[in-house]
Structure 1
């Protein structure tokens, strides 16, 4: 079975289209949260995710868009979320509110779990690569999983242990590992065997930044798209 893993789309429709075109056909798609926030096209991203039946969990930005609570956000993220929220209709907000905070499914005998932050704090905990290496075994045991998918940091990694895999597909819409290309993962899963491929895709950053500027989104957020930080 071919499985697409994405996370942190952040209202970047062009980046999302780019990775979908690059990925080609897949049997299952999982999104580790944060469809909205930061970028210029939250509605378009939600519509595409729903149309393609990409199974999604809530990220902290999705939760904030659903509730209107940005008290834990920095000023740039809060301003962007406010603008994103103004672009959504009631159906979009209701759908975001319905998103679960975790997803679990067995695929070809492989137990897969998806969280935005971590199994211990699904919405908000940041598990950066160094900490991921230290805690991978504990997390896999805690989540009772053979493959654990996390998001939130916007930094991709693939960790393999005797207990299984822990991966972060990175960010589709706002990478922060120094590479501005959209980031995602493809899995081939067959009879409890997992093959993991991390991919990067170029897209028209200038066009997205131009649209962000037109909407009045914080300039810092559009500048980050060019550097990948």
Structure 2
């Protein structure tokens, strides 16, 4: 079998900082780009630079037509993805507790549950169900001692024969 790696760039809570996003988009290698909301950037920009994105609680203040897509489900390489901003799930304490959040969302059909809102990076893998909860943190406004961050998900081959690597990244502009 041929080794194929699909790289997925995951960002959240950009809060209008287009310079950081442009830098990341230009300097990372990826096949798909995902935003988990609170981008506060023009829809045209998001649609032309991201393959999948959902709106966050602050996006309505930027454009009243936002919040049309609070969650999105799709597949890449046989893996099921569910993305949402996270603000619909509860307060920040829940979003910082991956085990509690997993209990709340485990009935959904996903291999990867991607979310933002807390501005705090989390990479949680539930061994029993082989499913991931991933919050890339915030590229712009980190909280609780974290640094500006995003995530690269590497899917090696496909779901049936492959494996997954989650690579947390700090935002560094040179």
Q: Describe how 1:56-135 pairs up with structure 2 within 5 A.
A: 56-67=53-64, 94=65, 96=66, 99-117=68-86, 121=88, 125-126=91-92, 127-129=94-96, 131-135=97-101
- The 1-side partners of 2:44 and 2:59 are apart by 14
> Equivalents in 2 of 1:114, 1:13: separation in Å?
21
Q: Distance in 2 between matches of 1:32 and 1:10?
A: 11
Partner of 2:110: 145
Point out the structure with max Rg over C-alpha.
Answer: 1
Cα distance in 2 between the residues matched to 1:107 and 1:54: 11
Q: Distance in 2 between matches of 1:143 and 1:64?
A: 29
* Alignment of 1:27 onto 2:34: no
Matched-pair contact (CA < 8 Å) for 2:35–2:50: no
* Secondary structure at 1:60 match in 2: coil
Q: Distance in 2 between matches of 1:108 and 1:13?
A: 29
In the TM superposition, 1:1-229 aligns within 5 A as 1-24=6-29, 26-36=30-40, 42-43=41-42, 46-67=43-64, 94=65, 96=66, 99-117=68-86, 121=88, 125-126=91-92, 127-129=94-96, 131-139=97-105, 141-162=106-127, 163=129, 164-180=131-147, 182-189=148-155, 190-192=157-159, 193-203=163-173
Is 1:11–1:35's contact at 8 Å kept on the other side of the alignment?
A: yes
State the 1:110 CA deviation: 1.0
Aligned length: 162
Name the CA distance, whole Å, in 1 between partners of 2:75 and 2:103: 19
Please list every run of 5 or more consecutive structure 2 residues that lacks an aligned counterpart in the other structure.
1-5
CA distance change for structure 1 residues 47 and 203 in 2, over 3 Å: closer, same or farther?
A: farther
User: Once the 2 structures are TM-superposed, how far is the Cα of residue 62 of structure 1 from its aligned partner?
Assistant: 0.8
How far apart in 2 are the matches of 1:48 and 1:54?
Answer: 11
> How far apart, in 1, do the equivalents of 2:24 and 2:50 lie?
16
TM-score, scaled relative to structure 1? 0.63
Query: Which runs of 5 or more residues in structure 1 are unaligned?
Result: 37-41, 68-93, 205-229
Determine which structure has the larger helix proportion and give its number.
Answer: 1
Q: Flag the 1:65–1:151 CA change in 2: closer, same or farther, 3 A.
A: same
